Structures are given as structure tokens and as C-alpha cells.
Structure 1
Amino acid sequence: MRGFMEGGGIFEGFRGTSGGNVSQKTMISGSFVNCQMDEPAEPTPWECEAYEQYVHLNELRKMWNCRQWPGWSNEPLVKPALQGLEMSFRFISSILCDARVYIDKAEWIRRLESLTNAQIELISIICEGDNEAPTIQLAVSTGVLGMGVAQEVWQRPGALPVVSRSSEESLLPRLATWKRAEDLVARLRLSVECHMQRVPFTLGLGEPNLRGKPILDYDRLCQPSHVYALKNGGQVQGNSEDNTLSTAHQIMEAWLHVAETLVGRIHENVDSGDVETAARDCWTVERIWRLLTDAINLLLLMDPDDFLRLKQQLVITSSGLPAGAYCLRSKGLNNVTKGCKDLRHLVPKVVGVEADPKGGPRLQEAVMRIFHSHGREGAAYNSGTVHLLQAFQAIEAGVKRFFFSYQQLVVVVMGSVEMKSSSYRSGAPDVLSQIYTEPPYFPSVDGAKTFLGDFWHYSHHDSVNLHPLCTAKPDASMTRVDSFRS
């Protein structure tokens, strides 16, 4: 595997000696930065196809790729996001209707509520400032109400009564009629009301809409009835964890589609010089990785006996991968992971310095100066560059956190012996740990922070001067740090 160098070169670093206060200049060799790793084993095409059929991915992709409003740039983001939200409503209804007395319904509901709130917040971030969305204006009542589902009528002082319609197909208004779900639905509606305050419209899921904003055309955009039709994997009858497993992965796939679209937009924004928007999209991608981790960790609550029986019924084994790397059968996950790694190629353009083809530290020094000056350019500050570089590394942390968490999930639900023995039998390396222990995706940014830390370390020792030995600072050891001291 190629090393994750923006320019393919090596860089120099400082490492304190173990015996005293004198530090020496040490070259970090190319073998460390460009460490060669075995290519991860890949699932077979049959395994990928079986996974896609299990989660009805082809049907979902058709809905995601169908453009109903060509002039609305946010449609490829908002549609799968809303469908992921609707899948969460469907998940809640399934847990509430689960007849098994031995599952922890209270913890299931708490976790699903938390996941749903996180999705609502992400949707509000995506829709912030969106004035092109298809909306329905509030109607003024003439005294006669239609027969639509879940209409609300409210009146401002001195104004005519206003009729606010909510979705007729979404499961959330239906859940509100269940005695056991009314408190949960009330909290979710308040979450929608609060998070959508910064958006020009609201979702129309029965939230109060106290500001009287236009309502998103939720039913046409989300198509809740189509989402509900894809309820279970259709593979196993009589095992409730079948629906649990398939729905969790459907939610994951919906948000992976959103992340893949955002990664493409990050490239476009960097190419156009809009680093502020690119940084905002990067932070959104990082939030999506956190959401994916929470979504997949729902499987921690599956009943052990039911799931392990389902595992055998679905034949969740692999000839090319260890059993624990089931997530790698998702092409969407592989594509988004690769796209996040490839953001390293944007660093030279963001910094405005070409990487040295001979492997010099030119790019790293430029990043270091940007950090040290807080992005200052002349008399002005361009802090958006610092924000974007920070967001790049946040995405890297999100990717590695997801795969580490997934590995721990597999250990919990399948057992560590099963996972390790699968690796030994197949002769494949530990694929998941191979991913989250990869070298830094952005080594120039990583190295720049190391140098900046050294700069402040030596500056602090020079200023404190508590001991005569603290004044010892060989010129050769500080050449690179002194280059940006001014």
C-alpha cells in the first residue's frame, strides 16, 4: 500500500535524548512515513452482492439517485439523510412491537432516541442556509379543514388561524398515537423544532413550528412508504434480529451516501478556493463518521443467542475476509474510506505550496508557518485554512475510530476467539486493525504539529531558564524550528 504522503517525500523531526536536556536533530526515515502495509483482503463479488441484496441497496440507490428537483443542489444530500431518519422511526416501531420479553427495550429506546437526535442535528446542518428546498407554505384557515392526517391549527394574536400540515406518510405522526411512544415522540418533535431554528424551513413531522416557517415537502422527497417497504432483509423468518441487523446497515448505507457526496463537494470547494465551505463540509463528514459508529454500535444490544443463530442462517462467513470484517462488504464504506484518505492530495492546494518532488520538507514548513501565524496573510487572517487542515485530521480520526469500534463490536457479539480463529483459518491479516493503525493520512500536517510543539518546548525552556543546562541549545538541533520563529 502506498504511504499517505501528500507529496510522497520524507520529513525531518526532533526527538529529545533520553539522558538530558540536549536534543538532537533526527531524520524520520521514509520507511516510517511510507511504511509498506499488506493490501487488505477484499470480499468476493458474490459476498458484496449478497450484502447488497440483504439490505435492499439497489432499491435504495435508485431512490437516492432519482432527481425530482434538478435545480436543488442539496437534494442528493437531504433525500438519503431523511430516509435514514425515517428508517430510525421504523426501527423504533419495530423495537416497541417486539414481543420478546428478554430484550432490554428501555436501553434500545434510549439509544435509538440518541441516534435519531443526532440525525436531526446533522440534517439541520446540511440544510442551513438552503433557500432552494421544495416547501409548502402554511395555509390560512377559512373555517373548513380538510381530511389530511395530523393537521394543527394555531393563531397568533391579532392574526387569522394558521393551518400547519405534517407528513401523512411518515411513521413519526403515527407513533404519536401510541400510548407507549407519545413521550418519545414529543421529545423528538421538540428536537426537530430546536435544531431547525437555523434553517429557512422545517420538516413537517408534527413539530410546533412556532415561527410559522414553510414546511419541507417531506412525503414527496423522502417517500416514507417506499422506505417502509424495505423493512427487513427477507432472508430469515422467525428471527427478530434479522430486522435489527438489516435496518442498522440500511441507516449506515444512507449516511455513507451523504458522506460520499460531501467528499466530492469538498474537492470542488477546494478547487474553487472556498476553504470555509470546505471546512464546514469536512466537519459534517466527521460528524457522519461519529453517527455511523453510533448506528453500528446498536448491534451491541442484540440478543446473543438470536444473533448467533442468525449468523449461521445468513452464513455470515467469508472465504476472503475474517468473519469480523463484515462491514467491508459495503462498497459504500470502502469508497467513503478511500475518499477520506484521498483528501491528502488537497493539502498542497490548500496551503498554496507544491510538494517537493525530491522529498524535502517544503510543504511541512509551509503548514507549520500557517499554524504558527494562525493563518495570517499580510495584515489579514485567513483562519479558514487552519480550520480546514484541522478538519482533515478530524476526519482521519473519525475513520479510524469507526473501524476500531467495529472491531470491538465484533468481539462482543461474536467472541474474540471466533474472530481470531477466522483470521488464522483464512490466512488473512487482521483487516480491521490494519485499517485503524495505518500511518497518518496527512503526514505534513502531522509533522508540522510535531515541529510546532518542539518550537514552543524550546521557547519555554529558553524563557524559564531554571538551570544552567536549560540554556544548552545546539544550533544544529534548532535549525528547522528557528526558521519560522520570527
Structure 2
Amino acid sequence: MVTQEVAPWSVALSEGTKKCIPNPPSTPPAQDTSAMEAYEQYLRLPELSNLWRSNDFPQWKNESLIKPALQALEITFRHISVALSDPRPYANHREWRRRLESLAASQVEIIAAICEEELSGGGAPIAELSTSEGMLSRQASSEVWKLPGTSAVVSRISEASLLPRLAAWDKSEDVANKILYQIESQMVRCPFTLGLGEPNLAGKPVLEYDLIVRPLELHSLKKSPLESKTRRNRENETLFTVHQILESWLHTAKQLLSRIGERIDEKEWEKAASDCWLVERIWKLLSEVEDLHLLMDPDDFLRLKSHLAINASSGSDAFCFRSAALLEVTAESKDLRHKVPWILGVEVDPNGGPRIQDAAMTLFHGRRRGEGSNPGKIDLLQAFQAVETAVKKFFFGYRQLIMAVMGSLEAGGNRALFMPSGSLDSLAQMFLEPPYYPSLDAAKAFLGDFWHNHK
């Protein structure tokens, strides 16, 4: 067995054992309560969170996951409207168009992946397309489709969403049509479609989009409290909208992380792995959202920065650390490491022995690793490390982003890479800290060495 051949050279590494980690883990950045409260008030998060958390459909088990994700998508439609109607001659409309198309497509892809679970019957509120059981609603925008030799179906379109309006506006018609075809293609494996004007060639049931997302209430939160002071600064609306999208997806990530814990406790390894891959994709999506800051006009944004007292300097003053949800999702993403012993079926060695590492090598190298109680375990552990990679990429990318947007002098440049670990700023600590999974890391290193020498 690999354990017998490789374990004698293995080092004592174990999740949850401080003495096994070469460097102490970074401490969470100190939270400036007043700055965090100001951030929440600026984004109108208390009102927005009420929309995320409203339990309008008790029978729908995935409501808390899908609702904030759909609301983030709806806010993206608003951002498209804002960006393409920007009258400033120096605004880069072409790149905004491309970036927002890509952002919407990424969101639709994740939403579709979440909705695929509804195949087992999750109680999602849907409007049946068949006209055989009733009459068309006068309040709904509906069209009847009837092909020769088939039953009639109804294509319903949201009346409150901005996407159908964008499809009817000459400036955004091409963008909206691309999004609609993305919805059509991505929702192909789902039991329903969104009902935003996509072709729905399969005649699927349509999600009650307006009842779930409540677009009118959502768009009533489009103005920040600072609007009156910065009404001539277009970047205020951009910054405000970008961070509302970010916070909505962070709420979805929190719900997914909670479900991952429940599924691991129930030993549903494959389902937990699927959720972990979704969390990894959400972290990548968050980076894509943050990168929209690169398109903001430097002078207009830096003027807005002075109003908001945004400070990109070292420590907890980085603007991203004002988000309580980001800190929480980061901590919960790291805490997945505490599930490793349970997944491998071993306990942490109090003496710092390589018990977890040996179990990991046995699992990775086992001839029957996909059978018995093991299906999904390797995929789950791989997904854990994928989440770690995505988290560190996010914070590394964010540090580079603030250097590009606000200047390297204020952001501290690259000095963090040449300083002792105790002197690193909070952002640098996030991506320079030791591996979250030292035992898995060591197991792969020694397994690779085993195969290198096994000739």
C-alpha cells in the first residue's frame, strides 16, 4: 500500500493542529464598526437584505439560494441601462457592453447550475404553460404558441424585469438578445425557465420571476443616500450598483456554504462537492464583479472616493473589508478544512502525527476509490482546494485592482511581498498565508514522489 511505502518519510501535518502548520494562520482583519455601518447604509443593505431573506414560498427549499442570485442578475440589467445611457464622451461604452454581457452570462450559468437540483421537485413557484387547465391572466404578458399536431403552450414574459425593456431599446437590443439566448441555452437541463423573454423552445414551465425577484421593489433601492451630494458624479451609481451585485452573490454563497456543511454531516459527498464547485465559481464571479472598477473614470472615481472616505492603504481600511458578508464568507470558506477528518474517517492526531495525510494518500491511491463509501470524496477534497485557490486569487486580484484604480502609493505597492509575515497588510495576509489543507498538500507531494520513484 502507498501508506506503508510513503508514510515513513511523511511529515507531521494535520488539519486543526497548530504545531503542524509552519506559520501561524492570519488573523481576520480588525473590523471598523463605524465604517462597516456606513458601507451598509450607503448600499442600502438593510433594505436589500430584507428582499433576500423574505420567505415568500415556504414550500420552496432552494428559495434562499436562487432568490438573491436572480436579484443580482436583475441589478445587472439595471447596470447595463446605466452604463449604456452614460452621456459622458469619455465613457467606454464598448468595453462596458462586453464586460456586462460576460458578467450576465456568468451569473446565468451559476443560476442554471443551482436550478438543476429542482429536478427532484423543490417546490419552485412556476406558471404552467399549458392552456388546458385555465385562462390566461390579464396581468401577465403572455403569448400562445400552437404548432400543427401539438398542444398549445403559453410563453410568459416578466412585466417588471428590465431585460425585456433592454431588448426593446436600440442601444441595448444586442446585449439583451445575447443574454436571452444565454438563458435559453444554460437552462436546458432545468425543469423550468426564467420567463424573461427567452425563446423557451422546449415549452417548459416558467418561473414566477416577478413574484420571486420583486423587481419594482428591488429597483426602488437604486439610489444611494449620497445621491444628492454626488448627483453629477456618474461613478457613484456605478460603484453603488457593482457592490449591490457583489453583496447579493455573497448572500447566495453563505447559503451554499451552510448547505455544504449539512450535506457533509449527512455524508452526501457528491452533493456537497457539487455545492463546493458552485462556491468556487461564485468566488471567480466576485472577481469579475470587482474588475468592473477598472472601467471607471479615474478623475470621477477619485473625486467620489473623497466623499466616501475610501482608503486603500494597508490594514483593515481596504474597502472590501467593510463588507461583513465578505469576511463571513471568507471565514466559512476557510473553515471547510475542519471537515477533512470527518470525510476521511479519521481523527486528528493530538501529537501531530500524519494520520490525516496517510488516510488521504490511501484514498487518492486506492484501487476502489470510487466504490463503497468513497464515491464523491476525492471530488469533494479537490473542490475544497479549488475554493482555497479561488479565495486567494480573489484577494490577490483585489490588491492589484486597488493599485490600478487608486495608485500603488496608496495601496502600498508590492512592498508586502518583501516584508516579514508579521508586518504584512491584511490583504497580503489573505493570499500569502500557508495552505488551508496541509495534510492534503503533503499527501499529494509524497504520492507524486512515490510515482516518480516507482519505475
TM-score between the two structures when normalised by the length of structure 1: 0.84
In structure 2, the CA distance between the partners of 1:32 and 1:102, relative to structure 1 (3 Å rule), is: farther
Do 1:167 and 1:219's aligned partners in 2 also have CA atoms closer than 8 Å?
A: yes
Give the Cα separation in 2 of the matches to 1:129 and 1:258: 15
Give the Cα separation in 1 of the matches to 2:32 and 2:408: 24
Give the Cα separation in 2 of the matches to 1:200 and 1:41: 43
Give the Cα separation in 2 of the matches to 1:154 and 1:347: 52
Q: Which residue of 2 aligns with 1:110?
A: 98
Q: Which residue of 2 aligns with 1:386?
A: 378
Q: 1:128 aligns to what SS in structure 2?
A: helix
28-37 or 288-297, which deviates more: 28-37
Q: Which residue of 2 aligns with 1:5?
A: none
Q: Which residue of 2 aligns with 1:434?
A: 429
Q: 2:185 aligns to what SS in structure 1?
A: helix
Do 1:375 and 1:383's aligned partners in 2 also have CA atoms closer than 8 Å?
A: no
Q: Which residue of 1 aligns with 2:245?
A: 251
> Percent identity between the aligned chains?
49
Where do residues 297-336 of structure 1 align in structure 2 (5 Å cutoff)?
A: 297-317=291-311, 321=315, 323=317, 325-336=318-329
Give the Cα separation in 1 of the matches to 2:396 and 2:312: 20
Encode CA deviations 1:378-407: one digit per residue, 9 max, x unaligned: x75834110000000000001001001101
Confirm whether residue 295 of structure 1 aligns to residue 289 of structure 2.
yes
Do 1:232 and 1:247's aligned partners in 2 also have CA atoms closer than 8 Å?
A: no
Q: Which residue of 2 aligns with 1:173?
A: 164
Q: Which residue of 1 aligns with 2:452?
A: 457
Cα displacement (A) at 1:234: 2.9
Give the Cα separation in 2 of the matches to 1:372 and 1:209: 46
Unaligned runs of 5+ in 1: 1-12, 15-23, 464-486
Q: 1:230 aligns to what SS in structure 2?
A: coil
Q: Which residue of 2 aligns with 1:351?
A: 344
Encode CA deviations 1:256-287: one digit per residue, 9 max, x unaligned: 11111111111111111100100000000000
Give the Cα separation in 2 of the matches to 1:370 and 1:431: 36
Q: Which residue of 2 aligns with 1:198?
A: 189
Give the Cα separation in 2 of the matches to 1:413 and 1:185: 29
Do 1:150 and 1:206's aligned partners in 2 also have CA atoms closer than 8 Å?
A: no
Give the Cα separation in 2 of the matches to 1:190 and 1:214: 17
Q: Which residue of 1 aligns with 2:419?
A: none
Q: Which residue of 2 aligns with 1:477?
A: none
Where do residues 88-103 of structure 1 align in structure 2 (5 Å cutoff)?
A: 88-103=76-91
Give the Cα separation in 1 of the matches to 2:261 and 2:117: 21
Give the Cα separation in 1 of the matches to 2:10 and 2:381: 25
Q: 2:117 aligns to what SS in structure 1?
A: coil
Q: 2:144 aligns to what SS in structure 1?
A: strand
Q: 2:155 aligns to what SS in structure 1?
A: strand
Where do residues 357-376 of structure 1 align in structure 2 (5 Å cutoff)?
A: 357-373=350-366, 376=369
Where do residues 221-236 of structure 1 align in structure 2 (5 Å cutoff)?
A: 221-235=212-226, 236=230
Give the Cα separation in 1 of the matches to 2:274 and 2:263: 10
Cα displacement (A) at 1:195: 0.7
Do 1:322 and 1:428's aligned partners in 2 also have CA atoms closer than 8 Å?
A: no
Give the Cα separation in 2 of the matches to 1:290 and 1:77: 18
Q: CA RMSD in A?
A: 2.7
Q: 1:358 aligns to what SS in structure 2?
A: coil
Confirm whether residue 65 of structure 1 aligns to residue 53 of structure 2.
yes
Q: 1:46 aligns to what SS in structure 2?
A: helix
Where do residues 3-22 of structure 1 align in structure 2 (5 Å cutoff)?
A: none
Do 2:12 and 2:352's aligned partners in 1 also have CA atoms closer than 8 Å?
A: no
Do 2:26 and 2:433's aligned partners in 1 also have CA atoms closer than 8 Å?
A: no
32-41 or 336-345, which deviates more: 32-41
Match among 101, 107, 122 for residue 110 of structure 2: 122
Cα displacement (A) at 1:211: 1.1
Give the Cα separation in 2 of the matches to 1:251 and 1:322: 22
Give the Cα separation in 2 of the matches to 1:116 and 1:403: 22
In structure 2, the CA distance between the partners of 1:26 and 1:340, relative to structure 1 (3 Å rule), is: closer
Q: Which residue of 2 aligns with 1:395?
A: 387
Do 1:375 and 1:381's aligned partners in 2 also have CA atoms closer than 8 Å?
A: no
Encode CA deviations 1:93-134: one digit per residue, 9 max, x unaligned: 001111111011111110101010010010111111312201
Do 1:43 and 1:321's aligned partners in 2 also have CA atoms closer than 8 Å?
A: no
Q: 1:200 aligns to what SS in structure 2?
A: coil
233-242 or 146-155, which deviates more: 146-155
Do 1:189 and 1:206's aligned partners in 2 also have CA atoms closer than 8 Å?
A: yes
Give the Cα separation in 2 of the matches to 1:301 and 1:281: 32
Encode CA deviations 1:4-37: one digit per residue, 9 max, x unaligned: xxxxxxxxx99xxxxxxxxx95857977724125
Give the Cα separation in 1 of the matches to 2:21 and 2:130: 62
Match among 440, 443, 446 for residue 438 of structure 2: 443
Encode CA deviations 1:79-105: one digit per residue, 9 max, x unaligned: 100000001000000011111110111
Cα displacement (A) at 1:162: 2.9
Give the Cα separation in 2 of the matches to 1:145 and 1:371: 57
Encode CA deviations 1:37-68: one digit per residue, 9 max, x unaligned: 56354231100000001111111111111101
Give the Cα separation in 2 of the matches to 1:413 and 1:117: 25
Give the Cα separation in 1 of the matches to 2:126 and 2:59: 14
In structure 2, the CA distance between the partners of 1:322 and 1:65, relative to structure 1 (3 Å rule), is: closer
60-69 or 403-412, which deviates more: 60-69
Unaligned runs of 5+ in 2: 417-421
Match among 335, 338, 359 for residue 331 of structure 2: 338
How many residue pairs match? The answer is 435
Letter in 2 for 1:382: N
Give the Cα separation in 2 of the matches to 1:202 and 1:196: 6
Q: Which residue of 2 aligns with 1:133?
A: 124
In structure 2, the CA distance between the partners of 1:163 and 1:415, relative to structure 1 (3 Å rule), is: same
Encode CA deviations 1:389-427: one digit per residue, 9 max, x unaligned: 000000000100100110111000000011128x99xx9
Do 1:232 and 1:242's aligned partners in 2 also have CA atoms closer than 8 Å?
A: no
